[in-house]
Chains A and B, each alone.
Chain A
Amino acid sequence: MSTIELANVSRWYGNVVAVNDITMTIGPGVTGLLGPNGAGKSTVLHLIAGFLAPSRGKLTVGDVPSWRNPDIYRTVGLVPERDSVYAFLTGEEFVLATARLHELADPAGATRRAIAIVDMAEAQDRRISTYSKGMRQRIKVAAALVHDPQVLLLDEPFNGMDPRQRLHMMDLLTKLGAEGRTILLSSHILEEVERLADTIQVIVSGRLAASGDFRAIRRLMTSRPHVFLVRTSDDRLLGSALIGRPAVAGVELTHGGLQVRASDYGTFSRELAVLARNQGVRLREVLPEDESLESVFAYLIET
């Protein structure tokens, strides 16, 4: 009942394709939906949550379509990205109202349990309007968990949280995943997902760029060629020395300095300073040119 399945799902708005032919299966445990901003992560989450109709393809949560099917919310909890909650309610009132909307047998008991899970008992009697961003996020998680769902969908859950709140949320999601729930969270920050998710689905430009075990994909990411801009006291001399090294795939003399393509990031990083010293060249600046997540994802698409 807790498996999410997308089969050739596309979603477009007029001529713009937001999600392009995505096929994936998400089972119990924590799965990270990773990709740069605007890649289509939220669109995929909204499709799964039943808040968008697929333009093409089939999408099911626990074997039933989520679109126009409010009954799926008996097994699905959603934590939307937008920080809009009923700010005039207290935390407890908000979670209790959600429990009642789910028509739970013991809404008060379920509310107490959900608030305890997110560690918000002390602040439960305060109005949500007085909460910090992190507290709002936690009370949203409590409301999403109040009916004990098997599937929990979270859209950028760490946005606006301070480091301590992030750690708390990570521990909570890890625990929920270990209990056998299907936890799907979207993020554009690699390190967040790295600490949490067993498997990842990488979305780039609306397409599924990589899918599977996080460590294997991480290795792929770190072993890709890295481009550095190196400024020195003698670019030509250092360039000729660098091209002889196996860790370097190419060197180009530019007006701004040396553009070096390293095939082995680790070895190049260790050798560069030694090589410069041996050649009597002073290093003025070493800048990684392609460290943005977008370039990492772009590399994943090419491989």
Chain B
Amino acid sequence: MSGVFNKVVASITVRAVFGRRRALIFAIPPLILILVTLALKAARPPGAPWPGRILGDFGFTVILPLTALIIGTSVLGAEIDDGSIVHLLATPVRRSSVIVTKFAVGAVLTMAFVAVPELIAALIATGTFGKLAIGLFVGALAGSVIYNAVFVMLSVLTTRAIAVGLLYVLVWEAVLGNFVSGARVLSVGQYSLGVANGIAHDSALHAGLTLTTALIMGAIVTVLTLVFASRRLSEFSLKGDAV
């Protein structure tokens, strides 16, 4: 209880997330990924280089960030939006503990809803528990962690976290990341692909960063965003009277 992870905060967060209708949306992207994989598996002959492309490009640039965005902004942003966060903050719990716990819950949920389906889809696509399946699974685990740190921070920074997160994913990562090589250094999607490719060594993944760069940048971004989010939450303000 006195550690950074707070069980009570985690329990409330999980119940809050699954108590909302938005929770049903979590299951849709991974379901699409598995259905697409099944369809391609049925349509394509074995041996073609499609598993890396579909599970890397589609899985890591669409499914992973969108699911992480929905979950990462749910674990804290929804409480800030409806004001119930005040009941949590009117206790002596450290703000860093609130942030780390919310982040951990978001990361684990994203792993369950993205990394595990990525692994299942990879097993369906390749038919073996090989390097590609392991690489995609570990890459998705890393992406779940880093994306959630970023989206939890966005929840504290702005009430429009989903819109800002979408802009980041769609404009920065999907457009700039493809055309401007420097943008990849600040792309969580590229960190995830870098980790996946570091294990899988599959050119179809289109990884733009090395494993080392991806790991170092991912760790820096995670730590910095969590520290910044904790500082901002400790300055959480309530609006006063209409003036």
Contact = CB atoms under 8 A, between A and B. Distances in A.
Contacts of B235: 53, 68
Interface in B76-99: 82-84, 86-95
Contact of B237 (A19, A41, A46): A46
Nearest to A143: B87
Please classify how large the interface on chain B is, using the bins under 10, 10 to 19, 20 to 34, 35 or more.
20 to 34
Given A86-B87, A143-B87, A101 B240 contact: no
Interface of A is mostly: mixed
Interface string A128-170: 0000000000001001100000000000000000000000000
Contact of B241 (A37, A68, A70, A78): A37
A39 B236 CA distance: 22
Interface in A68-93: 68, 70-71, 73-74, 76-78, 80, 82, 84-86, 88-89
A136 B191 CA distance: 46
Contact of A86 (B12, B89, B92): B12
Contact of A18 (B1, B2, B93, B240): B240
Contacts of B12: 86, 89, 97
Please classify how large the interface on chain A is, using the bins under 10, 10 to 19, 20 to 34, 35 or more.
35 or more
Nearest to A86: B84
A187 interface: no
Contacts of A70: 89, 91-95, 234
Contacts of B91: 70, 73, 98, 101-102
A100 interface: yes
A139 B82 CA distance: 18
Given A40-B243, A101-B6, 14 more contacts: A38-B242, A38-B243, A41-B241, A70-B92, A70-B94, A73-B90, A80-B86, A80-B87, A82-B83, A82-B86, A84-B83, A97-B8, A102-B91, A144-B90
A138 to B, nearest CB: 14
A230 to B, nearest CB: 35
